[in-house]
Amino acid sequence: MPWNSLMDRMMSELHSHSQGKTIEGIADCFRTAPLNPQIISAIKTAHALGCELRIVSDANHFFIETILKQHELFECFLEINTNQSFIDHEGELRIQPYHDFNFASHGCANPCPPNMCKGLIIKRIQDSMSSEGKKRIIYLGDGKGDYCPSLNLDEGDFMMPRKNYPLPSVGADHQKPLIVEG
C-alpha cells in the first residue's frame, strides 16, 4: 500500500470514535515536531539570499504546512509539490495521492511510488527554470523515491543524499552518479 493511502487510512482511524482525535489535535502533534535549528537557519539564509526553495515530498500538504508554519518557514517556499490533503464534511483529515494511480500510471519506469514520480516534478521545475533563465538545482533527498529525480539533474546540479538513509544504497546499483557536478 502506498504511503499516502496508508496515512489516509491512519487519519480515518485517528478520527474514529475509538480514538476521537480532532483535526486540531493532529495539528498540535505536528506543531511539536522538532526541526534541527541548523536546518531552520539554512532555509532562512537560502531564502534571504534569493534562492527559490521548493518542496517535492511524498508526505502531504497538511503535515508540511503545519510544520513549516510552526517554525516560521512556510513563506520561504515558492512551491510545495506533495500529496493533497483536505478536511472533509465531518472535519476529518483526508489525504489524496499527488498522482491518481487508480486512474492511470504516471508512466515512470524507475522505482517511484505509484502516487508520485518526483522525477517528472523535477522535469517540470527544470522547464520553468529554463524559461526564467535559472541555472542550478540542489536536490536534497533521503528515500528510494528520490532516486528518480537524481537521474534528471543536469550538469552543474547537485544531489545531496541524507546519510544513513535508503537513497545512497539505491544509487549504488546504477551506473549514473548521484552527484552531478559541472
142 is in an annotated binding site: yes
Sequence letter at residue 70:
Q
Could you tell me if 158 and 181 are in contact, meaning their C-beta atoms sit under 8 angstroms apart? yes
Residue with cell 534562492: 51
Sequence letter at residue 146:
D
- Residues of 11-24 as b/e, b for ≥16 C-beta within 10 angstroms? beebbeeeeebebe
Q: Which residues are annotated as a binding site for Mg(2+)?
A: 142
Q: Which residues are annotated as a binding site?
A: 142
